[in-house]
C-alpha cells in the first residue's frame, strides 16, 4: 500500500504563513481609517496593488469565507475597492468618516429586531 506523498511544510514569511498574512490584510481593509491610510500612501494608485486587491476577492468564496472575523465591512470594502472611483475618493477624510458612521450604525441595527 503506497502512502500518500508527505505534505510539504508550508513556507513561512516572517514566521507567518501566506494564508495568515493575507487574511490579516484583507480584514484590516474593513477599517476605513486603514483604507484612508493606504490611499494617503498612494498605494491605491499602483496597478500592482489594484491587481492584488482583485486577487484578494477569493476571500468572498467558501471555504475561505468562513475565516473572516469581520465579514461585513471586509467584504463590503473589498468590493468597493474594486471600483476606481472609490479608490480615488477614499483619500478624503470626509468620505472616511461617512464610511465609519455608516459601518457603526449598521453594526448596531443589523439584522434589526
Partner 1 sequence: MDNIIDQRFERVEKALATLITSISTYNPSISHANDLVAADTELSQGLEQLSAHQSNYAKILALRAESEDLDAQIKDKLTLLTTTRKELLAASSTNFTSKANAVDVAEILSYASRSSKFTRPATFREVEAQSNPDTGDGGTNTPKEPGSQSQTNGTSTPITGINGVDKDTQMTQGTVTNLESATPAAELPSQATNQSSQTALPEHWLSLISPEAHMPFVPWPSEDTIRRGALASIEILINQGKDPATFDPEKSAELEADRKRIQEEEDMAREAERLKREEEARRRMERRASEIGAAPAVRQEAKPAAFSLDMLDDEEDDD
Q: In the complex, which residues of this chain contact partner 1 (CB under 8 A)?
A: 11-16, 19-21, 23-25, 27-28, 30-34, 36-37, 40-41, 62, 66-74, 93, 96-97, 100-101, 103-109, 113
Q: Cell numbers 480584514 label which residue?
A: 27
Nearer to partner 1, 40 or 83 (CB): 40
Nearer to partner 1, 5 or 62 (CB): 62
In angstroms, the Cα distances linking 47 to 20, 41, 43, 53, 69 are: 24, 14, 9, 10, 28
Q: Are 84 and 39 in contact (CB under 8 A)?
A: no
Give me the least distance between CB of 45 and partner 1, in Å please.
17
Give me the least distance between CB of 2 and partner 1, in Å please.
31
Specify the DSSP element, H or E, that contains 57. Answer: none
Nearer to partner 1, 25 or 52 (CB): 25
Helix residue spans in the chain (DSSP H): 18-28, 32-40, 47-55, 71-81, 84-89, 93-109
Give me the least distance between CB of 4 and partner 1, in Å please.
24
Give me the least distance between CB of 26 and partner 1, in Å please.
10
Amino acid at each position: 500500500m503506497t502512502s500518500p506523498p508527505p505534505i510539504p511544510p508550508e513556507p513561512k514569511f516572517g514566521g507567518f504563513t501566506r494564508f495568515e498574512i493575507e487574511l490579516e490584510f484583507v480584514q484590516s481593509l474593513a477599517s476605513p481609517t486603514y483604507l484612508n491610510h493606504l490611499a494617503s500612501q498612494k498605494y491605491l494608485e499602483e496597478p500592482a496593488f489594484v491587481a492584488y486587491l482583485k486577487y484578494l476577492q477569493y476571500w468572498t468564496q467558501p471555504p475561505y469565507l468562513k475565516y473572516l472575523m469581520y465579514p461585513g465591512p471586509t467584504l463590503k470594502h473589498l468590493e468597493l475597492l474594486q471600483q476606481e472611483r472609490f479608490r480615488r475618493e477614499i483619500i478624503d477624510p470626509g468620505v472616511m468618516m461617512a464610511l465609519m458612521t455608516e459601518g457603526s450604525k449598521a453594526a448596531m441595527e443589523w439584522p434589526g429586531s
